[in-house]
Structure 1
Amino acid sequence: MSQTPNDPAGTTHQFQNFAGQAPQQPAKAPGMNQGLVFGIAAVVVVIAIAAVAFVLM
């Protein structure tokens, strides 16, 4: 079985180039995801409407 040569200097150099690159996407500001907040609000509204409908029956 033949083995392919492993060049640690080459992989280290490639990793250093990768690590030195600037991020491709801008970093997100910390905080909650807006979709998550709107989803939770929608669930609360639906539950409130169902509770009011149940009480009025």
Structure 2
Amino acid sequence: MTENYTDPSGNTAQFRAFVDAPESATAAASTPSRLPLIVGAGVAAVVVVALVAWLALG
């Protein structure tokens, strides 16, 4: 830790300033969406099921 570290829980004003800091909002907003991963997994599952059904009936 650095020497100039200030504990945000030191008092109420410091904690509120820490919570309202803009960098905490951008960190949460910068997480990538998991929707393409979920859609891709669903499409892959449908393809596998269709392939197994085609091989079983063919």
What's the TM-score once normalised by structure 2's chain length?
Answer: 0.60
* Dislocated runs of 4+, deviation >4 Å: none
Larger RCO: 1 or 2 (CA < 8 Å, sep 6+)? 2
More deviation, 44-53/32-41 = 32-41
> Structure 2 unaligned runs (5+)?
1-9
In structure 2, the residue matched to 1:15 is 15
Q: RMSD of the TM alignment (CA)? A: 2.6
> Structure 1 unaligned runs (5+)?
1-9
Q: How many residues align?
A: 46
What CA deviation, in whole Å up to 9, does each residue of 1:28-54 have, x standing for no partner?
A: 6xx861101000100110000000000
**Counterparts of 1:13 and 1:26, CA distance in 2:** 23
Superposition deviation, residue 19 in structure 1: 2.0
AA at the equivalent of 1:41: V
Superposition deviation, residue 24 in structure 1: 3.1
